């Protein structure tokens, strides 16, 4: 009986391994035929052959009907109205059936302190509203920088799914063998393998759920900064005169900002000077008095020393 069970388990492993490889190969052939991931431009000549595999063409990029693509974007925004911008972002997320995964606001209002406020949001938006939220965010505040990424996890997803199916077949077969086993050692071996299978199946199922969530809900990282003035984009100077003019204007702005900051610090520091000026005067007077006393003491010592020298000379002359 033991030999029979061992032979059956070996054959089962061989069959499931072959089935997994064959299924993975068929899946790769059907999902990504004859071109690398993301390289869809070369498929124009095969449009008639592949038309069933694509949903539509969006700005020159072909998209699979059953593709699993994780979309991520980073967007940096600047605004003059910080509170209104935050309210608008939160409102847009709710309108598009998304949610804010993480948020952080720091700093103080720019009107009270020199440090501006900053906000960071991690938004999760349904994939069908991905382009809408990016467009809406560009209307909420001024876009300073934006980057987008798309990770195709189609092969990984369907390969994991195929492995789950094969592992379940093996699990079912082992359960049938467990019913027929009459040897304690064989029962223990089968139960250990069943535990391993159940762990692998649950791990793969968790991985699939995570992938489904990442695919169904795109991730947008939003960085919002409060500014005093929105900088306008400058056209690159072409002629020598335009370059000189640009540098002259920059130098003029730098000098103006320097004098402005200096005036602010001087006038703003007046209350501090009013407090410290009497203290400085008192310290100055004390130092002068000490110097005078020191000079007077040194003068008296010098006079006494000179008198002693004269008396000694007179005494020497009398002798």
How confident is the model over 165-174, as a mean pLDDT?
Answer: 94
Greatest alpha-carbon span in the chain: 144
DSSP assignments along 160-178, one per residue:
HHHHHHHHHHHHHHHHHHH
- Residue 52 inside a domain? The answer is no
**DSSP single-letter state for residue 59:** T
Are residues 88 and 171 part of one domain?
Answer: yes
pLDDT at 7 over 60: no
- Per-position DSSP letters for 74-85, written without gaps between them: EEEEEES-HHHH
Residue 13's pLDDT is: 54
pLDDT of residue 2: 47
Put simply, whether the predicted model's pTM sits higher than 0.75 gets the answer no
Q: Which of 94-103, 114-123, 170-179, 197-206 has the lowest mean pLDDT?
A: 114-123
Answer with the one of 171, 206, 233 that is the final residue of a domain. Answer: 233
Q: Are 227 and 275 members of one domain?
A: no
When divided into structural domains, the chain yields a total of: 2
- Over residues 197-225, mean pLDDT: 95
How many H-runs (helices) and E-runs (strands) does the chain carry?
A: 8, 7
Domain identity same for 212 and 121: yes
What's the mean pLDDT in 156-163?
94
Residues 284 and 217 in one domain: no
Claim to verify: residue 218 and residue 277 sit in the same structural domain = no
CA distance 205 to 199: 10
Give the pLDDT band of residue 109 (cuts 50, 70, 90).
low
What is the rounded average pLDDT for all residues in the chain? 78
Instruction: Tell whether 300 and 158 lie within a shared domain.
Output: no
Rg of the chain in Å (alpha carbons): 41
Strands 54-58 and 61-64: antiparallel
CA atoms of 32 and 143, how far apart (whole Å)? 36
- Which residues lie below 8 Å from residue 40, measured CB to CB, with a gap of 6+? 61, 62
Task: State which residues form the domain around 312.
Answer: 269-319
Q: Strand 69-79 to strand 142-152: parallel, antiparallel, or no bridges (unpaired)?
A: antiparallel
Across 35-39, 63-67, 184-188, 261-265, least confident range: 35-39
Looking at residue 10, what is its pLDDT?
Answer: 47
Same domain flag for 158 and 102: yes
Q: Which of 56-65, 109-118, 237-246 has the lowest mean pLDDT?
A: 56-65
Task: Say whether both 199 and 150 belong to one domain.
Answer: yes
| Residue 84 falls inside a structural domain | yes
Residue 169 within any structural domain of the chain: yes
Which 8-state DSSP code applies to residue 111?
T
Same-domain pairing of 79 and 227: yes
State the average pLDDT over residues 110-133.
Answer: 85
Q: Examine the fold and report which residue of 205, 233, 261 is the final residue of a domain before the chain moves on.
A: 233
Helix (H) or strand (E) segment spanning residue 146: strand 142-152
| Domain-ending residue, one of 233, 259, 292 | 233
Residues 103 and 225 in one domain: yes
Considering the domain boundaries, does residue 303 fall inside one? yes
Question: Is 253 inside any structural domain?
Answer: no
């Amino acid at each position: 009986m033991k030999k029979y069970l061992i032979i059956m388990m070996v054959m089962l492993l061989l069959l499931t391994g072959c089935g997994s490889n064959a299924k993975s190969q068929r899946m790769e052939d059907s999902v990504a035929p004859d071109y690398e991931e993301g390289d869809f431009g070369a498929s124009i000549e095969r449009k008639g052959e592949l038309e069933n595999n694509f949903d539509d063409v969006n700005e020159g990029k072909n998209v699979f009907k059953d593709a699993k693509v994780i979309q991520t974007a980073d967007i940096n925004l600047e605004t003059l109205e910080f509170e209104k911008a935050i309210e608008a972002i939160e409102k847009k997320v709710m309108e598009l059936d998304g949610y804010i995964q993480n948020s952080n606001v720091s700093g103080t209002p720019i009107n009270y302190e020199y440090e501006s406020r900053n906000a960071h949001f991690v938004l999760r938006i349904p994939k069908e509203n991905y382009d809408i939220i990016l467009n809406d965010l560009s209307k909420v505040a001024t876009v300073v920088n934006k980057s987008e990424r798309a990770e195709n996890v189609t092969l990984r997803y369907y390969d994991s799914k195929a492995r789950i199916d094969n592992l379940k077949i093996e699990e079912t077969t082992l359960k049938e063998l467990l019913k027929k086993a009459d040897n304690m050692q064989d029962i223990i071996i089968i139960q250990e393998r069943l535990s391993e299978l159940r762990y692998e199946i649950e791990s793969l199922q968790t991985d699939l759920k995570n992938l489904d969530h990442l695919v169904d809900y795109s991730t947008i990282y939003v960085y919002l900064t409060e500014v005093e003035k929105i900088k306008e984009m400058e056209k690159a100077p072409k002629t020598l005169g335009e370059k000189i003019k640009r540098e002259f204007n920059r130098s003029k702005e730098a000098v103006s900002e320097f004098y402005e900051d200096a005036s602010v610090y001087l006038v703003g520091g007046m209350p501090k000077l009013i407090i410290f000026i009497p203290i400085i005067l008192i310290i100055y007077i004390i130092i002068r008095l000490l110097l005078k006393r020191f000079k007077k003491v040194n003068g008296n010592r010098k006079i006494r020393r000179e008198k002693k020298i004269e008396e000694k000379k007179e005494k020497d002359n009398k002798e």
